[in-house]
Amino acid sequence: MINNFLNALGFLSVLPFRSKKPWQPGDLGRSALFYPLVGALMGALTAGVNYLLSLVFPPMLTAALTLCFWIFITGGLHLDGVADCFDGMLNASPPERRLEIMKDSRLGTFGGLGLILLILLKFSCLYTLPAQKTRLLLPFAMASSRWLLLLAGKQPNARPGGLGAEFSSGLKPLHFIFAGLTTLILTGIATWQLGWMALVALVAAHLLALLIFLIARSRLGGLTGDVFGLLVEFSELLMLLIFTISIGAA
């Protein structure tokens, strides 16, 4: 169990904790039972950084620096997937060609625009939301988005032998039970602290995941590791946007 937790921490974050055991096939999927917990931990650290920054800097700079830390703690892992998905999935080519484009390390126009828009929207949400609500929301959003990775792991893979296939190979029902219970507990805490909008945000994130699955299967023939990254980033963004609605309506 400790080995799985350290593998999850090492894969999802840049935190200096790694398992000493050699990596085995399927370890990526087996570590998934801790994904929501690791997401909540990264969210709590990001919330703590946001609080400390707010003691020194004005709100706009606090939001910008918080987002920088948010990107840093994940190592930009999922942003790379966003760029690749925008470059490949928006390209008017057959699925095979789209997959080739997504494997290309070069950043295209669509990928650059996707990254700019995503970062701009996340920054706007961090700057707009009340500070206390932001700090409570970050652990919930980052945990929920990583729970969705388990659902993605049971979708068809676009290519054999990729990151998505490696992840899927180790996923077992027990991992869904443990990660699901963790997510339910965190949802209960978030609903108690943030109100019923937490449930709305979680349902919306699941619907978004379904949409992404359908688009990926249509455009690529299945999911890839890049689509997993897109799922994490977009579900986090959507949950932040949900909580800005009440502010805009006020």
Instruction: State the pLDDT at residue 246.
Output: 64
| Helical axes 35-54 vs 2-12, angle rounded to 10° | 50
Instruction: State the pLDDT at residue 50.
Output: 96
Q: What is the mean pLDDT of residues 18-46?
A: 84
Domain locations in the chain? 31-245
**What pTM does this model have?**
0.92
Work out the end-to-end distance of the chain between its first and last CA atoms, rounded to an integer number of angstroms.
Answer: 46
Select the more confidently predicted residue: 187 or 16: 187
**What Rg value do the Cα atoms of the chain yield, rounded?**
18
> Is the pLDDT reported for residue 250 higher than 60?
no
Instruction: State the pLDDT at residue 247.
Output: 61
Instruction: State the pLDDT at residue 17.
Output: 73
Read off the pLDDT of residues 121-130 as tens digits, 9 standing for 90 and up: 999 999 999 9
Least confident of 18-32, 38-52, 119-133: 18-32
Contact criterion met (CB below 8 Å) for 243 and 93: no
Q: Considering the chain, what percentage of its residues have pLDDT values greater than 70?
A: 94
Using CA atoms, how far apart are residues 48 and 121, in angstroms rounded to an integer?
A: 21
Q: What is the mean pLDDT of residues 80-99?
A: 85
Using CA atoms, how far apart are residues 71 and 248, in angstroms rounded to an integer?
A: 26
Angle at 16 (CA atoms; ends 15, 20), nearest 5 degrees: 125
Least confident of 77-86, 94-103, 157-166: 157-166
